[in-house]
Amino acid sequence: MKVFKFGGAAVKDANGFRNACSITGLFPKEDLVIVVSAIGKTTNALEELTDAFFFKKGNAEQLLSKIKEAHIELMNQLFPDPSDPIYNEISNTFVELDWAIEEEPSANYHFDYDQIVSMGEILSSKILSAFLNKEKILNTWLDARGLIQTDNNYQEGKVNWELTEKLVRTNLLPMLNKQGSILVTQGFIGGTSENLSTTLGREGSDYTAAIIAFAADAQEVVIWKDVPGVLNADPKWFDQTKKIEQLSYQDAIELSYYGATVIHPKTIKPLQNKKIPLFVKSFIHPNDAGTVINDVQTHLPVPCFIFKVDQILISISPKDFSFIAEENLSSIFKLFADHGVKINVIQNSAISFSVSADNDDRKIPPLIEQLKSDFRVLYNDHLELITIRYYDQPTIDRVCSGKTILLEQKSRYTVQLVVKNTP
């Protein structure tokens, strides 16, 4: 069995659906599990809807109408027959959202977020399943909330691996009962033991594909993207990018962790654990080789570089000029963890400790406030974090031209630089 994942960009419009359909049609003899994301930017729109509903700012009904219209417009292009049952199906799904925003918000933003935002994938997967069936690619729709079990850490559900494996084995595998069976399910979402919806973190559909592949012992995972494979730099920033043919799990995890957006960082571990290869392929040229990420030890032939913008560099030192010692460090780390701030780079000296993190305006100000009660805190924002794996000096010079380096850290294969634009 293979797991295919189509992200929001792959199904952003009617042509995307048609293309996903023709790609699926290229594998008539394979058992496939298709994991799909919400259409285009629907998740962002649903986040806006959640904020309007929860904080009572903005017009929730109007935001929901726009999301409805976009889905209806798409269906009009895919299903010319107005009596097609998909119209009823989707309208019933929207009724659930109507009800959700008619109620008063709960006390927990993260909970409400997951109940609302998870619907994006329910909608897209229903439309994809119905469209494939209409095009004679017979398939069954499966609810991922009954497969992927998480705790109730809403917005960042933690997978219960044992239970998930059991559910995949009892609810999914038996449905792949003949060669060429196809199942369509949702990325990004899971369910709790009380049958409530959870989400796995933004861009989490890749992770879903990996979880299912792990639990079902899949033969491979294919992520269909708008790029030809994994590139050595983001084509948004650089024009001379090179496609990487083969990547080790180790390099893939390092690159995605430091911000290569091509795959979600959590995706690699479950696949590495079972040595399942991950292919990243172009949905525009589906017959091209793409990139394979698998169990090899080879190093990359070219430097790979990743930019993370909007970084803040925070320097923390004890108020009384004492050393940064273990007790200080553990209380500092605890504060970062309590505020949900992920640390990107760390450097410490005798009396100070510097950290670069994403400058999230909801999380960083309260963290700094709290740090200030025990430490002297200085910070610099609007910075970039540049990570170069398999670095060489010409690449460092090239990416740092016109920039001032505030922090530099080199290990054998990786250099990380926190820089600001030189005024």
Angle at 346 between CA 342 and CA 348, to 5 degrees: 145
**202 touches ligand ASP by CB under 6 A:** yes
Under rule CB under 6 A, residue 125 binds ligand ASP: no
Shortest reach from residue 37's CB to Mg ion, in Å: 5
* Residues 206-239 as b or e (16 or more Cβ within 10 Å = b): bbbbbbbbbbbebebbbbbbebbbbbbbbeeeee
Q: Which of the 8 DSSP states describes residue 214?
A: H
Q: Are 67 and 42 in contact (CB under 8 A)?
A: yes
The single residue among 118, 164, 192, 205 that binds ligand ASP, judged by CB under 6 A, is 205
Report if residue 8 touches Mg ion, rule: CB under 5 A: yes
Q: What values do phi and psi take at 6, rounded to 5?
A: -110, 120
CB of 171 to ligand ASP, least distance (A): 22
Interaction between residue 265 and ligand ASP (CB under 6 A):
no
Binding part of the chain for ligand ASP, among 10-18, 35-43, 101-109, 125-133 by CB under 6 A, reads 35-43
Q: In what order do the strands lie in the sheet with 182-186?
A: 140-141, 182-186, 32-36, 2-6, 220-225, 278-282, 291-294, 246-248
Contact between 243 and 293 under an 8 Å Cβ cutoff? The reply is no
- The yes or no reply on residue 118 touching ligand ASP (CB under 6 A) is no
Q: Does 37 bind Mg ion (CB under 5 A)?
A: yes
Complex with Mg ion: residue 8 or 303, whichever CB lies closer:
8
Closest CA to 234 of 344, 384, 392: 384
CB under 6 A: which stretch of 71-79, 201-209, 227-235, 327-335 binds ligand ASP?
201-209
Our finding on whether 190 is near ligand ASP (CB under 6 A) is no
Name 124's Cβ contacts closer than 8 Å, sequence gap at least 6.
11, 36, 37, 38, 39, 42, 186
CB of 200 to ligand ASP, least distance (A): 8
Per-residue b or e along 89-98, where b marks 16 or more CB atoms closer than 10 Å to that residue's CB = bbeeebeebe
Q: Would you count residue 188 as binding ligand ASP (CB under 6 A)?
A: yes
What are 321's two structure tokens?
A: 């000029």
Task: Kindly determine how many residues on this chain lie close enough to bind Mg ion according to the rule CB under 5 A.
Answer: 2
**Cβ proximity to ligand ASP, 13 vs 245, nearer residue:** 13
Q: Under the criterion CB under 5 A, does residue 16 sit at the interface with Mg ion?
A: no
Which run of H or of E encompasses 317?
Answer: strand 304-318
Which listed option, ligand ASP, Mg ion, none, makes contact with residue 204 (CB within 5 to 8 Å by class)? ligand ASP
CA 258 to the chain's CA centroid: 13
Given ligand ASP, Mg ion, none, residue 188, with its beta carbon under 5 to 8 Å by kind, binds: ligand ASP
Q: How far is the CB of 123 from ligand ASP (least distance, A)?
A: 11
Closest CA to 120 of 63, 165, 81, 158: 63
Task: Collect all residues with Cβ–Cβ distance below 8 Å to 409 and sequence separation of at least 6.
Answer: 345, 347, 415, 416, 417
Q: Is 123 in the site for ligand ASP (CB under 6 A)?
A: no
Q: Which does 290 bind (CB under 5 to 8 A by kind): ligand ASP, Mg ion, none?
A: none
Q: Tell me the residue type at 372.
A: K
7 binds ligand ASP (CB under 6 A): yes
- Number of neighbours of residue 121 by Cβ within 10 angstroms: 30
234-293 residues near Mg ion, rule: CB under 5 A? none
Q: Which stretch binds Mg ion (CB under 5 A): 5-13, 138-146, 279-287, 378-386?
A: 5-13
Min dist. Cβ of residue 43 to Mg ion (A): 6
Burial class (CB in 10 A: 0-12, 13-18, 19+), 41: middle
Is residue 43 near ligand ASP by the rule CB under 6 A? yes
Q: Is 40 in the site for ligand ASP (CB under 6 A)?
A: no
Size of the site for ligand ASP (CB under 6 A): 12
Interacting residues with Mg ion (CB under 5 A): 8, 37
Interacting residues with ligand ASP (CB under 6 A): 7-8, 37-38, 43, 120, 187-188, 202-205
